[in-house]
């Protein structure tokens, strides 16, 4: 099961209603954290997400609302006697800025912290990959793609009967090795399985103006989490952010299944923002959500299901 937990959905500064950006992907017992704004550890405690299960933190850029929660998170890990290494990824200057954090105050972590500065990079892990790509925010800034590896198709009972195969160790060997010799025949895995199943793809932009790199990297994503700070260009002024309409246009061009509008400016109430988003996304024919803090999107049976950790299914 794969879950996206929105720990902070606002931008610039926290309000009583919403915290600043932090998005957790919970996958096979691991938590990947994308951005870690101030107060993220409190949000994780409320969401009952253990910081000890976070092995990788991906920071989009070094504006305070996206990284100032890092020190508190690391200190909590240390307080709980963490031993596993922690990996922190980010754009240019990540190493320098993280070192400033680690050298401040009377504090030194008792576990290893590995810092990785990325450009446009493809990181490969056991069951998934994370791709980083450059966005337009006036400073070094990255977006990220979480891509679950494609999975083999299901075993086809009629094909197993045709080749005289039965469930058991022989199928495990076939799955591991890709082909076996059986009853004088060479049987390949694709001979007895259906089409490969495409892994889930999630794109997260961080803060950005609309740009072609976002459209390219989010192509056919199952979920695009896009900066949509403002309802109008007039509200945005000259800041390096996107409007709801611009995020909808990117989602339409990239043919994503679902658009999540993030980083809502503190000037908007939820109702006002949702109303404006509904008009814009309806015009573009885009399926969308305006997540609130502690909303969860769970991917199962090829679709997203929305709930809230504090309120349940809705």
Tell whether residue 66 is among the known ligand binding residues.
Answer: yes
Residues 297 and 25 sit within 8 Å (Cβ to Cβ)? no
Q: What is the phi/psi pair of residue 135, to 5°?
A: -125, 175
Instruction: Choose the catalytic residue: 35, 55, 65, 295.
Output: 65
Print burial letters for 232-265: b (CB count within 10 Å at least 16), e (below 16): eeeebeeebbbbbbbbbbbbbbbebbbbbbbbbb
**Long-range CB contacts (< 8 A, 24+ apart) of 244-249?**
244/273, 244/276, 244/277, 244/280, 244/281, 245/280, 245/283, 245/284, 246/209, 246/210, 247/210, 248/280, 248/281, 248/283, 248/284, 248/286, 248/288, 249/210, 249/284
Tell whether residue 63 is among the known ligand binding residues.
Answer: yes
Tell whether residue 114 is among the known ligand binding residues.
Answer: no
Q: How many CB atoms lie within 10 A of CB 298?
A: 16
What is the sign of the dihedral through the CA atoms of 300, 304, 305 and 308?
positive
Tell whether residue 305 is among the known ligand binding residues.
Answer: no
Tell whether residue 150 is among the known ligand binding residues.
Answer: no
Q: What is the phi/psi pair of residue 272, to 5°?
A: -65, -45
- 55 flagged as catalytic: no
Catalytic residues: 65
Binding residues: 61, 63, 65-66, 137, 207, 263
Binding residues for Zn(2+): 61, 63, 65-66, 137, 207, 263
């Amino acid at each position: 099961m794969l879950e996206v937990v929105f720990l902070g959905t606002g931008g610039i500064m926290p309000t009583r209603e919403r915290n600043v950006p932090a998005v957790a992907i919970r996958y096979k017992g691991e938590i990947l954290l994308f951005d870690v704004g101030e107060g993220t550890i409190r949000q994780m405690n409320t969401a009952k997400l253990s910081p000890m299960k976070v092995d990788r933190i991906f920071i989009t850029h070094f504006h305070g609302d996206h990284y100032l929660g890092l020190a508190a998170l690391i200190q909590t890990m240390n307080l709980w006697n963490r031993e596993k290494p922690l990996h922190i990824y980010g754009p240019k200057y990540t190493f320098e800025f993280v070192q400033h954090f680690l050298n401040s105050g009377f504090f030194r972590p008792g576990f290893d912290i590995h810092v990785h500065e990325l450009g446009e990079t493809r990181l490969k892990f056991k069951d998934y990959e994370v791709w980083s790509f450059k966005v337009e925010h006036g400073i070094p800034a990255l977006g990220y793609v979480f891509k679950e590896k494609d999975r083999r198709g299901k075993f086809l009972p009629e094909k197993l009967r045709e080749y005289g195969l039965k469930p058991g160790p022989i199928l495990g060997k076939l799955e591991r090795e890709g082909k076996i010799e059986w009853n004088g025949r060479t049987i390949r895995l694709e001979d007895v399985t259906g089409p490969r199943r495409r892994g889930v793809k999630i794109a997260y932009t961080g803060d950005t103006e609309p740009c072609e790199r976002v459209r390219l990297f989010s192509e056919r994503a199952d979920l695009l989490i896009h900066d949509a700070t403002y309802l109008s260009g007039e509200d945005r002024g000259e800041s390096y952010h996107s409007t709801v309409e611009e995020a909808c246009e990117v989602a339409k061009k990239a043919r994503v299944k679902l658009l999540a509008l993030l980083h809502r400016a503190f000037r908007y109430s939820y109702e006002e923002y949702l109303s404006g988003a509904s008009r814009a996304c309806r015009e573009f024919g885009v399926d969308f959500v305006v997540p609130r803090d502690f909303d969860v999107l769970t991917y199962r049976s090829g679709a997203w299901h929305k709930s809230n950790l504090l309120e349940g299914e809705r």
